[in-house]
Amino acid sequence: MLSQRQRAILATLIESGDFVAVGELARQHAVTDRTVRLDLAAIEAYLAGTPYRLERHKRRGVRLRVPPEERPAWLERLRPMADVAYRLSAEERQRAILAALLRRSTPLSLGRLADELFVSRRTVVEDLKRVEGWLRDRGLRLLRLPTGVKVEGPEGAWRAALAELISPGPGEAARGYPAAPFPLLPPEEIAAIREAVTRAAEALPYELADSAYEGLVYHLAVAILRLRAGHDIAMDPEELANLAQRPEWAVAGRLAADLEERLGVAIPPGERGYITLHLLGAKAIDRRARPGEADPDAPLAEAVDAFIRATGAHLGMDLTGDDDLVRGLILHLRPAVWRLRYGLRLVNPLRDQIMERYGFLMAAVQAAAPALEERLGIHITGDELAYLAMHVGAHLERVSARRPPRVLLVCGSGIGTARLLESRMARAFPHVRVAGVLPAARLGTQDLRQVDLIISTVPLPAGPRPVVVVNPFLTPEDVRVIREALTGGEGGGTVAERMTGPMLEEVLTPELIRLDVEAQDWEDAIRLAGEPLVAAGRVEPRFIDAMVEAVRRVGPYIVVDPGVAMPHARPEDGVRSVGFSLIRLREPVRFGHPTNDPVRLVIGIASPDAETHLRALAELAELLSDPAARTTFEQGSVEEILAVIRQRSSAQRR
């Protein structure tokens, strides 16, 4: 069934009979364009049982053609539908309860909430348990009084919570819901705020991102609501004096004056400071330098450089040299510093997805976060960490995209058909590197660690790498199947999804482990870690010099944990195949790290690209974080260490 707002939108379309812009529908109902599109999807589903369908036009909007003689009957059918016909989910109920509580300062009875939501008091009581936790996470308290329930807490936290609740966010279809039963401000006042923000933003030395523009509109709507209820923001005079030195202060003043005139509400100086903070904390697309101005991003650039080096150390790769990564992090951190210093919470709606799909990146970013926190005087929240992980993940995607996929061609017997397939592959996939051509009988003798995909003219048993069976003449259907296999499907694939490289037991083998050896200093320790990799043919001798030079160039960031260093170098510095070495020093040595010295475990990492080693590295990180396994690495024999690694790899396979 349709919600009240969806019925109203459908009625508007029927009455109009012509195209109506999505933006116009959004303004009518004080919701976002995205919310209207979701409502239109629900309306389309409702219309599936009728002869009529929505028509969409890229510029003009949406239209529903119902014959004039049928319109009265349609409108009559829409009107008597009771709101109770739309059954709210638990999340929608809880959002509605939060919106109701945060819009008022007086207690709200459970009976009224139950009546508004068409549920029992028992259901409201259960929903309030989740609501209470949501509020507590945002620095607010839920008070239970004889007359009902109410929210208590600092004004800044109150506003941030309400703005978060009603602001649009990607992937959150329900965010627009509370605006229907609990409207924040009339649509015409929201429109006035948008116009005021648009006019004021023209004076900023940078262009606001769309998300920042929308966020500012909603924060101002919340501020107007709270001011009218008698609640304003108090700021320390010294903080206001500091903010007054920023160009955003003048913009905030013009914006405040415009809002006073448009909405008839007095905006005190503290609120002007509050608006200034939101402008400073807003994401920008670019920044136009002012004449004679010193580079304001110099401290940020230094902090970002330290963060990139530290993150690279935890990932066992060199992340330096990517200007896009540096610019992206600076652009994100410039407003983030202000948000974090003044407690302006920024919710990352993709945080849970990032944690699930990029857990290995989140761990590395979290471990490297002190490099930013110490230099910028901030504490980075989980939401901000997720944004940083997104930037690092984008870097890995760029690097991965530059590496040509590697395939192994297999035929049933002889090599003739495979050679035919090779020539066809060269024409259809010139960017793909053929790692080898061999008969199926010899497949078991082939090292598959450097192979992304096996393309065979005959069926093969399941193995460690995906297999595509094709005709040696490579039909159009074969080309499509190979393309999907190489990209992870039509939608491509993320680094996390492609992280199917060798396991730790495959890359850290007995000949790569040396225990209780003597090292004179950090350089000697790194060279000792490189020797087994050279002896096993995983790297060229020059790789050892590159590892040493990397530490001289970037500092002791490779000391990623107390007592653990992970020296590495770039693939082009002589890597032949992926491999890890483990050196346990008889006496720890100092690398110059301020907190993690001295080092006893030195783990050399060699990888032919940015991702082949990540699966093994993730296993190793988990083992080193486990106290029992860590003790085995520090005190056990080679056989005991390998047993722990095999046990971990076996658990991963299950």
For residue 166, what are the CA distances in angstroms to 30, 163, 208, 493? Answer: 11, 5, 20, 32
Residue-wise pLDDT for 181-203, tens only, equals 345 677 788 888 889 888 888 88
At 340, the amino acid letter reads L
Q: Which residue has the higher pLDDT, 68 or 132?
A: 132
The Cβ of residue 271 has, within 10 Å, a number of other Cβ atoms equal to 23
Residue-wise pLDDT for 25-52, tens only, equals 888 877 788 888 888 988 887 787 678 8
CA gap 54, 11 in Å, rounded: 13
Contacts of 645 (CB under 8 A, 6+ apart): 504, 505, 508, 619, 623
Nearest Cα to 194, choosing from 214, 179, 178? 214
For residue 303, what are the CA distances in angstroms to 365, 447, 555? Answer: 14, 42, 14
Whether 568 sits among the annotated catalytic residues: the reply is yes
Q: What are phi and psi of 69, to 5 degrees?
A: -70, -20
Q: Which two tokens stand for residue 128?
A: 């309030």
Residue 172 clears pLDDT 50, i.e. is over it: no
Write the DSSP assignment of 514-554 as a string of letters.
EEEE--SSHHHHHHHHHHHHHHTTSB-THHHHHHHHHHHHH
Q: What are phi and psi of 25, to 5 degrees?
A: -65, -40
Residue 246 clears pLDDT 60, i.e. is over it: yes
471 contacts 478 by C-beta, under 8 angstroms: yes
Distance of CA 30 to the CA centre of its chain: 28
Write the DSSP assignment of 228-264 as a string of letters.
HTT------HHHHHHHTTSHHHHHHHHHHHHHHHHH-
Q: Which two tokens stand for residue 558?
A: 């490779």
Residue 104 clears pLDDT 60, i.e. is over it: yes
Identified catalytic residue from 29, 391, 395, 568: 568
SS3 57: strand
CA gap 149, 128 in Å, rounded: 9
Residue-wise pLDDT for 300-331, tens only, equals 888 888 888 888 877 777 777 778 888 888 88
Domains of the chain plus CATH, in order, are: 4-85 (1.10.10.10), 90-179 (1.10.10.10), 188-287 (1.10.1790.10), 298-402 (1.10.1790.10), 406-487 (3.40.50.2300), 504-653 (3.40.930.10)
Nearest Cα to 317, choosing from 548, 602, 523, 569? 569
CA gap 514, 528 in Å, rounded: 9
Angle of helix 247-263 relative to helix 187-201, nearest 10 degrees?
150
Residue 87 clears pLDDT 70, i.e. is over it: no
SS3 56: strand
The Cβ of residue 440 has, within 10 Å, a number of other Cβ atoms equal to 17
Which residue intervals of 403-521 are DSSP H helices? 416-428, 476-487, 504-507
201: alpha, beta or left? (left if phi > 0; alpha if psi -120 to 50): alpha
CA gap 607, 653 in Å, rounded: 22
Distance of CA 582 to the CA centre of its chain: 33
Please identify which residue in the block is written with the tokens 């992870």.
Answer: 488
pLDDT of residue 641: 93
Residue 386 clears pLDDT 80, i.e. is over it: yes
SS3 string, 62-99, reads: EEECCCCCCHHHHHHHHCCCCHHHCCCCHHHHHHHHHH
Residue 531 clears pLDDT 90, i.e. is over it: yes
435 contacts 450 by C-beta, under 8 angstroms: yes
Determine the average pLDDT of the residues in 108-112: 85
Q: How many CA atoms lie within 13 A of 37 on its CB side?
A: 12
Determine the average pLDDT of the residues in 221-238: 84
* Rounded percentage of the chain residues whose pLDDT exceeds 90: 16
pLDDT of residue 418: 67
Q: How many CA atoms lie within 13 A of 525 on its CB side?
A: 30
Residue-wise pLDDT for 432-452, tens only, equals 888 888 887 777 777 777 787
Sheet holding 453-456, edge to edge: 433-439, 406-411, 453-456, 467-469
Residue-wise pLDDT for 268-296, tens only, equals 888 888 888 888 877 665 554 444 455 56
Determine the Cα angle at 96 with ends 94 and 100, to 5°.
115
Predicted confidence band of residue 156 (pLDDT cuts 50, 70, 90): confident
Q: Which residue has the higher pLDDT, 532 or 401?
A: 532
List the beta strands (DSSP E) in 33-182.
54-57, 61-64, 141-145, 148-152
pLDDT of residue 174: 33
The Cβ of residue 495 has, within 10 Å, a number of other Cβ atoms equal to 21
pLDDT of residue 320: 78
Determine the average pLDDT of the residues in 400-411: 75
At 164, the amino acid letter reads E
Q: Which residue has the higher pLDDT, 511 or 479?
A: 511
CA gap 495, 499 in Å, rounded: 6
Q: Which two tokens stand for residue 213?
A: 């523009």
The average confidence (pLDDT) of the chain is: 80
CA gap 279, 276 in Å, rounded: 5
Pairing mode, if any, of strands 559-561 and 513-517?
unpaired
Nearest Cα to 172, choosing from 283, 116, 89, 62? 89
Residue 489 clears pLDDT 60, i.e. is over it: no
CA gap 303, 537 in Å, rounded: 37
Return the minimum-mean-pLDDT range out of 154-158, 276-280, 494-498: 494-498
Angle of helix 382-402 relative to helix 359-368, nearest 10 degrees?
120
